[in-house]
Each structure stands twice: as structure tokens, then as C-alpha cells.
A = this chain, B = another copy of it.
Amino acid sequence: MFEAAELGHTVARAAFNRIVPKLRSDLLDAQYRLKENGTFPVIILISGVRGAGKGETVNLLNEWMDPRHILTRAFDTPSDEERDRPAMWRYWRALPPKGRIGILFGSWYTAPIIDRVFRTTRRSDLLQSIEEINRFERMLADEGALILKFWFHLSKEAQRKRLEALRSDPETRWRVTKRDRDFFEKYDRFYRISEETLRATSTADAPWIVVEGADPPYRSLTVGKALLGAMKKRLDAPAVRGRPVSKTAPIVHPIDRRDVLSELDLSRALTEKAYKKELRAWQGRLNLLARDAKFPRLSVALAFEGMDASGKGSTIRRVTASLDARTYNVVPVAAPTDEERAQPYLWRFWRNLPRKGRVTIYDRTWYGRVLVERIEGFCSEADWMRAYAEINDFEEQLERANIVVCKFWLQISREEQLRRFEARERMRFKRFKITPEDWRNRKKWDLYQSAAADMIERTSTGSAPWTLVEANDKKFARVKVLRTICKRIERALDEL
């Protein structure tokens, strides 16, 4: 993979000077077309060996284009807010919105490669990271992002020369650190591991572009032209996001109309007396768990889904009642804001992830993609189809960062929903008014049920299983939810 980047490519300074003015104005033009077009972001990854001109190139891109519409982010030591969350959180928060260019200096490749070079991880860890990166980048591409990954390479000889040159000039000597020397000693190992990583992550959606870093004019032109070419190609292409949207998602009903939801025994109920006793017991237990000495080492994400009027809000209130308000945050998921719409679908959920020792409660969740968005045709079939895998990846990352993920589907019968709608209409409070939309959704009951059954089947994983809650009786439902949360947190605390 690196052979072609050790050929000693050069471009004469005169040729460079001749080519650059046109390249710059073309790049600037493409950048403005991107801004006006506004339908996709450009994500540029800058990686590679030390001393191969990465920093210089980042500066040059900012000089050639309009820096007002470029977001450059460098990733060194994570902040404490970043350390408290899954490793990818810092990259999610740095993603450029649609219409802008984001330059990520250092990226999700840095840690997997470096950790393996210095043997703090095993080979299997690297392979797992590679697979996750591929899925992450495919998601970005599916969300419309144009991804350019540049790897700056220097042959061992070229790197030695460059370090020596830096060292011998008093003006630049400060730039050669102990870390540079450590890296150089590991050159061969770094070469092998990064080559393997690049090969395995050079996909159709996000191919690597290896750039020989020794000659500044050569590497600058290579990057500039590759960027220009990719942007123009994309901008000139007919609208990529215009995949046909299937207004009626092809939901297959099981022939016998039986699924995980229809099999639930909705007659399950608690007496008032049993409810009071159980509720108090589990609320007390949850309260104690959240004050456990080890609790600050994990976080909790609670996800609530269910048909309208299935009791999500009142159940959430029974959960929050047992927690200290300083430790939780409830996120009601409604229409996305415009900042959220300019990002990949999962971005709005990533931004609300809890810090260590905290609880985030999502009232409706990322599963909206495969429920309401699927049924109502708010996204294309391709979009919701890929969401299952994306969601599994997302939740796996949460689990790995010691976030306990509990997902609840509150199931009521169609008759019970009608009863609750009618009761709400009779209530004097305006807040309980039933909207025409509620009635419309109700008409699509079967579609929603099938989509939910589908979702549960595809996303109930070992680490983040769905808990199906028989919710015709609110008392039973609340206790089941509380008990599940307690048990899951207990297990997680035991495993710490």
C-alpha cells in the first residue's frame, strides 16, 4: 500500500506555482457550491507518520479555501468531559454539519493503530476496531457525507533525513520530541500495522489516499487535487439523497399474525396493595443503587418506546422519583432542531449521552427511525433498513463504555389505547388533549405493531436486550420497569 509513496515523487516549484492559482480558485468555488448546496458535509481525515507534513497541509487547506467555512479539529488528550463518555463521542461532537468542510487532524484511527504499535492492545482488538470503523464510515457515507482519508507517508530513509534536518536547525529543533524518537524506533512495526489497517479500511465509501510526504509541492498538489476532484464529482452528480422513498414500507405480517408482541399476556396486573409495596421496594432499591460507591464508574441510558398512551411519561416519573434530580436528565425526543437535521441521524442521541455517574432517560428514542420514520415515510427504505445495524453498533459502544442500556417497549392493547384516548378527551387539562395525529396514528396500529415486532427481533442483543412490558395495567408496567432497571444496574455493578 505504501510502495507507491516511496518513489520519491516531486513537483518542481515552478510547476507548482503555475498550477496553484487555478487550483485554489477552483477549490474555493467548490467550497462555496458545497455551502449553497447544503445537502452533505465533507469530512477530511489527516493521518500518517510524524513529520510527513500533516500540519502543514491542514494549514494550507485553510489558506487555499475560506477558513470561515472549515471546521478544523485536532485531537490530542481528551478532556474530562470526553473521557467520561464512549471513545467516539469526541469525534461525533466534532463532525461538520451539512454544507461545511471538517478537517479532523488525528481521528478514530489514531488510538487503534498507536495502541497496537505500543502493544497496549491485542491483535484481536485491532481487528475489532477496524470492523467498527468500517461500519461507522459506511454510516457516515450513507448519511451523505463525502469522506476523504489522507495518509501521509514517508519512507524510513526519508523520515530519518527529515528528523535530522529538523534537529540540525536551531529554529526547528524544538519540534523534534522524545515521542518522535520513540516512533522512529518503531518505524517498521508502525509501517506494518498501519498498512494492514489501511488496507482493511480502504472501502468504496471511504478509500484511503496515500500521499508521499517528503516533497511539499507534490503532497500539497496531491491533496488539493484529490479534494477538488471528489467535491466536484459529488457536486455535479444528480442529488444523491434522492433515493426513492417507499411511502408504504413493505412490512410482512406473519401469516398467523403471531409475533413477540401478540404473545404478551396483557391481562397481567397488580392489586393496589401489591403495587404500593412493590413500588416502594424497587424505588428504594434503585435509590440505594444510585448511591452505591461504585455507581460513579458507570452511566445509565434508559430508552422508552411504545404506542401513544402506553404510559411512558408516567412510568418515567416513577423512575425519576427514586433518583436525585442532580444525576438524571430526561430527553423528550420530538422533531429534530435544525442543528440536528444537519448531522447524521444518531448525532442527537450521542450529544445527550450521560457522563459517568449520570442517567439519561430518553422518552422515545433512536428507534424512531424504524418506527415512525419507517411507517410515515420520513426516511427512505434504505435509511431505515440500515438503521438496525447502526443502532446495534451504537448500543454496543455504549455498553463498552460502561453505560447500562435498558430498552423498554410498553405494550397495550388497541382497546386499552382507545379507552385512554377517550379518558384523556374527557379530562379538563389541555395538556392531555388528543390531537388528530394521535387518531391518525391509531389507524395505522397494525403497521406500527409489525414494525415494532420487527425492530425488537433485530435489535434485542445480549448486552442491550429489549424488555417487553405488559402495560394494560399501569401498576404492573411500572414495577416491571423499575425491577428491570435495578437488576441491570446490580449486574453491572457486580461486574465492575
B431 and A72 within 8 A (CB): no
B79 and A430 within 8 A (CB): no
Alpha-carbon distance A316/B317, docked complex (angstroms): 51
> Is A337 an interface residue, CB under 8 A from the partner?
yes
Which residues, 297 to 328 on A, are CB-close (under 8 Å) to B?
313, 316-317, 320-321, 324-326, 328
A36: chain B residues at CB < 8 Å are 430
B363 and A68 within 8 A (CB): yes
Partner of A68, one of B59, B69, B81, B330: B330
B80 and A29 within 8 A (CB): no
Partner of A325, one of B103, B313, B330: B103
A80: chain B residues at CB < 8 Å are 79-81
B72 and A326 within 8 A (CB): yes
Which residues, 1 to 38 on A, are CB-close (under 8 Å) to B?
25, 28-29, 32-33, 36
Known: A429-B28, A429-B32. A63 touches B320 (CB 8 A): yes
Alpha-carbon distance A363/B69, docked complex (angstroms): 11
Which residues, 60 to 93 on A, are CB-close (under 8 Å) to B?
61-63, 66-72, 74, 79-81
Interface mask (A275-302 → B, CB under 8 Å = 1, otherwise 0):
0000000000000000000000000000
B63 and A317 within 8 A (CB): yes
Alpha-carbon distance A66/B25, docked complex (angstroms): 55
Number of A interface residues in the complex (CB < 8 A): 45
Assembly stoichiometry (copies): 2
A317: chain B residues at CB < 8 Å are 63, 66-67
> Is A55 an interface residue, CB under 8 A from the partner?
yes
Main secondary structure of the interface of A (DSSP, over half): helix
Interface mask (A139-178 → B, CB under 8 Å = 1, otherwise 0):
0000000000000000000000000000000000000000
Interface mask (A394-438 → B, CB under 8 Å = 1, otherwise 0):
000000000000000000000000000000000001110000000
Closest chain B residue, CB of each to CB of A355: B79
B429 and A330 within 8 A (CB): no
Known: A81-B79, A326-B58, A431-B29. A63 touches B338 (CB 8 A): no
A272: chain B residues at CB < 8 Å are none
Alpha-carbon distance A330/B67, docked complex (angstroms): 7
A55 and B326 within 8 A (CB): yes
Alpha-carbon distance A79/B58, docked complex (angstroms): 29
Which residues, 353 to 392 on A, are CB-close (under 8 Å) to B?
363
A25 and B324 within 8 A (CB): no
Alpha-carbon distance A328/B72, docked complex (angstroms): 8
Closest chain B residue, CB of each to CB of A336: B338
Alpha-carbon distance A279/B62, docked complex (angstroms): 18
A68: chain B residues at CB < 8 Å are 313, 316, 330-332, 363
Known: A79-B79, A429-B25, A431-B28. A69 touches B332 (CB 8 A): yes
A337: chain B residues at CB < 8 Å are 337-339
> Is A347 an interface residue, CB under 8 A from the partner?
no
> Is A39 an interface residue, CB under 8 A from the partner?
no
Known: A55-B326, A79-B79, A329-B71. A66 touches B429 (CB 8 A): no
Interface mask (A228-239 → B, CB under 8 Å = 1, otherwise 0):
000000000000
Known: A80-B80, A326-B72. A429 touches B320 (CB 8 A): no
A81: chain B residues at CB < 8 Å are 79-81
Which of A67, A81, A325, A430 has the most chain B CB within a 10 Å cutoff?
A325
- Can you list the 3 inter-chain pairs with the closest CB atoms, starting with the nearest? A32-B431, A74-B326, A68-B332
- Pairs A–B under 8 Å by Cβ, sample size 6: A59-B324, A61-B325, A66-B317, A67-B316, A67-B325, A337-B339
